[in-house]
Structure 1
Amino acid sequence: MNMEQIFHMVGGAGENSYANNSRLQEKAILKTKPFVEEAIKEILKSLPEKFVVADLGCSSGPNTFRMLSEVINFVDQHCRQLSQQKPEIQFFLNDLPSNDFNNLFQISKLYEEKIREEKGDDYVPFYVVGLPGSFYGRLFPSKSVHFFHSSYCLMWLSQVPKGLEGEKGYQLNGTDIYISKESSSTISQLYLEQFKSDFLEFLKSRSKELIFGGRMILSFLGRRNCPSIGEHLYFWGLLADALKELVSEGLVEVDKLNAFNLPFYTPLMEEVKSTINMEGSFHLDQLQTFESNWDPFDESNDNFVVDNDNG
């Protein structure tokens, strides 16, 4: 299965689209807002004439432009406070080629018109470009990007872990589509190895593309303990049960279910830290975890967990 060509969120703006079903992702963007502001302040100390921002795994819909709005507002506020010349901002919106870029471009035009109406001539000039391609590889020329942002993306792997198919086509995971309570330690290890391989490639690529003094903010789903996979195990288990029911009804071939595994891994904090340290190009300013209620409209149990790392 070629992930880069076929994997994407549901496009458009319909009832079942990602754009109308991404409140959880929106909550993650709101949680990281103070860190985005701090990162931009640090970058603007060098007074760049052009500020290059890349949103990796941008998908489509309002969340993409929430991040864009935050950057524009922070730049505007900072430059006003210091009576500083506003830099031009170049936004690169990146996702896989099958992403709904048409939706992004349509929203982008409407958003720009709205900004011009509100700000008049006194607005931060910005330009939006779509950039199809996998972020598990190079996307930009060397030393060309000031700020990388990626939210709710890096738990998606570049491919299903190698090795899940054993000898003579035997599927190690059977009819399970992800790590389950019944999974062997071998399956969990294969997923971890794929995550580390992908994340190392991501970091290596960004280290070549980031301007000296640039910043990067990454947020993605993780888990708090091992071997538990948390609520993700429950959700993917429900999906697996539904697929097994389709097999029993003769609507899906069992061989196809056996061959299907999710390219998804929620790492432990220590797994993230060790991979960053292993790659060696980045200084880790902050590493924080926060919990979010899985009900997208209930924020009563949303909170940061006291688990900070400043090194």
Structure 2
Amino acid sequence: MERLMLEILANEVKHGNRPNNSFESSSFTRVVDAMKDKFGSLVSKKAKHALEKSMQQFCRLNLPSKECIIVGDLGCASGPNTLASVKEIIELIDSESRNMNYGLPYIQVFLNDLESNDFNSIFKSLPLFYDNLEKYGRQSGSCFIATMPGSFYGRLFPDHSIHFIHSSFSLHWLSQVPWGLVNEKGLPINKGNIHIGKTSPPEVRRAYLDKFANDFTNFLRMRSIELMPNGRLFLTMLSDNHHRHDAYNALDLLAMTLNDIHGYREQELRHIIEKEGSFKISHLETIKVLVGDAFGNHAWSLSRGFRAVYESMIVTYFGDSIVGDFFNRIHAFYTMEKSFLDDIKQPKD
């Protein structure tokens, strides 16, 4: 794997993409794809299994009477993997259709993200995406993809117009910074953290949780209006592992060097969903994966991965002059943290 990473890096250098410059997200995607091929992805595997189960239940209720399935993918972002979830959903619908001896339905997909998202790059990728669907067995003109810009904390679609709504790793982004993160003197009460860290006081967690509860309740309420009867809502979200004292996660590493994002615990999600009352929980599972699990404990690949995901946000708030040094520090802090955890896990003589 190290050789593979070095080969990819060497190829990028040939194209002028040196390590001290911006490392393209497409290059990081090649590394991640290679790691998945060799080791498999725990999150993807378990999430796909849950999605398959949800889609089977959905198709049994809807395929006999539906000539066109309407799908919404919320928080789609833009990049090489934007259409990956859509492709998987289409393949699952087609597989269930064949298993049930039905013809393949038309599929209309709406991709959603904020107005600032680079939808043009998605449009440019659609011809190849449609070609691949035809190779897979879909007729030309049987799948239609459009965009629906806007915040998913508000209304996006007409009443009862969507069959299946999917969102992956988007709902941890709050609609705005929570209130109550400063004291009566206007000083921050979460000093040294950029999210709910291990050293955050209880009132910080309460402020984030209250804001998340409000946002997530709005999200559920809007989706309950937009979904058709027998519709499905499938969400993959970040969770909270701070009850593990030996755990290091992505936001802890960012905090060591800078986010108004955080994951929430399973019981908190269940309480919010049941309190809002529009949805019945079909499946709720926590998949525990640490940073090292996702990146194979390679500090190089982790720091490049962080750069691919977070660079635009860092530049927006702090400018591009700190980018190189910032992500070098991510590398250093991860190496130091991992070394410390490895030491304390060694068996005592």
Q: Same-fold call, TM > 0.5?
A: yes
1:10-25 matches, cutoff 5 A: 15-17=23-25, 20-21=28-29, 23=32
Please point out which of 35, 46, 57 is paired with 2:50: 35
Given that 1:87 and 1:124 are in contact with CA atoms closer than 8 Å, whether structure 2 keeps it comes out as: no
Deviations 1:122-174, CA, capped at 9 Å, x for gaps: x6811111121111111111111111111111122111111213335332223
Corresponding position of 2:277: 280
Task: Verify: 1:181 aligned to 2:187, yes or no.
Answer: no
Are 1:80 and 2:98 an aligned pair?
Answer: yes
Q: What's the Cα RMSD here?
A: 2.9
Partner of 2:340: none
Larger mean CA deviation between 46-55 and 276-285 belongs to: 46-55
The aligned amino acid for 2:231 is G
Separation of aligned partners in 1, 2:244 and 2:267? 13
Cα pair 1:54 1:148 within 8 Å, conserved: yes
TM-score, normalised with respect to structure 1: 0.75
Aligned-pair CA distance for 1:68: 1.4
Tell me which residue corresponds to 1:211. Answer: 228
Supply the distance in 1 between the matched residues of 2:32 and 2:290 (Cα, whole angstroms).
11
Instruction: Give the aligned partner of residue 137 of structure 1.
Output: 154
List gaps (5 residues or longer) in structure 2: 1-21, 298-349
Q: Residue 150 of structure 1: SS of its match in structure 2?
A: strand
SS of the equivalent of 2:230 reads strand
Q: CA deviation at 1:267?
A: 0.9
Q: 1:241 to 1:82 in 2, by over 3 A?
A: closer
Which runs of 5 or more structure 1 residues have no equivalent in the other structure? 1-13, 244-261, 300-311
Give the corresponding residue for 1:298. 296
In structure 2, the CA distance between the partners of 1:17 and 1:68, relative to structure 1 (3 Å rule), is same
SS in 2 for 1:290: coil
Aligned residue number for residue 157 of structure 1: 174
Q: CA deviation at 1:49?
A: 1.3
In structure 2, C-alpha distance between the alignment counterparts of 1:19 and 1:202, rounded to whole Å: 34
One-letter identity of the residue aligned with 2:158: P
Distance 2:265 2:214 in 1: 15
Name the residue aligned to 2:261: 264
AA paired with 2:52? E
Deviations, residues 221-276 of structure 1 (Å, cap 9, x unaligned)? 112464969533xx444434436xxxxxxxxxxxxxxxxxx221211111011011
**1:223–1:229 Cα contact (<8 Å) kept:** no
Q: When the two structures are aligned, how many residues end up with a matched partner?
A: 265
Aligned residue type for 1:202: F
> Which residue type is aligned with residue 48 of structure 1?
K
TM-score of the superposed pair, with normalisation by structure 2: 0.68
> How far apart are 1:114 and its partner, in Å?
2.7
Q: 1:63 to 1:31 in 2, by over 3 A?
A: farther
CA deviation profile, 1:170-197 (whole Å, cap 9, x unmatched): 3222353222333221111111111111
SS where residue 85 of structure 1 aligns? coil
Does structure 1 retain, via aligned residues, the 8 Å contact 2:172–2:262? Answer: yes
Q: C-alpha separation between the residues in 1 aligned to 2:288 and 2:141?
A: 34
Contact 1:151 1:220 in 2 (8 A): yes
Name the SS of the counterpart of 1:194 in structure 2: helix
In structure 2, do the counterparts of structure 1 residues 181 and 78 end up closer, same or farther at CA, with 3 Å as the change threshold? closer
Residue 48 (structure 1) shift: 0.8
Give matches, 1:70-149, under 5 Å: 70-119=88-137, 121=139, 125-149=142-166
**1:105 Cα deviation after fit:** 1.3
Q: Pick from 204, 207, 219: which aligns with 1:190?
A: 207
Whole-angstrom distance in 1 between the partners of 2:183 and 2:135: 60
Relative distance call for 1:116 and 1:230 in structure 2 (3 A) is same
2:57 maps to a residue whose letter is E
Q: How big is the shift at 1:214?
A: 0.6
Q: Is this contact kept in 2: 1:87–1:125, CA < 8 A?
A: yes
Matched-pair contact (CA < 8 Å) for 1:179–1:187:
yes
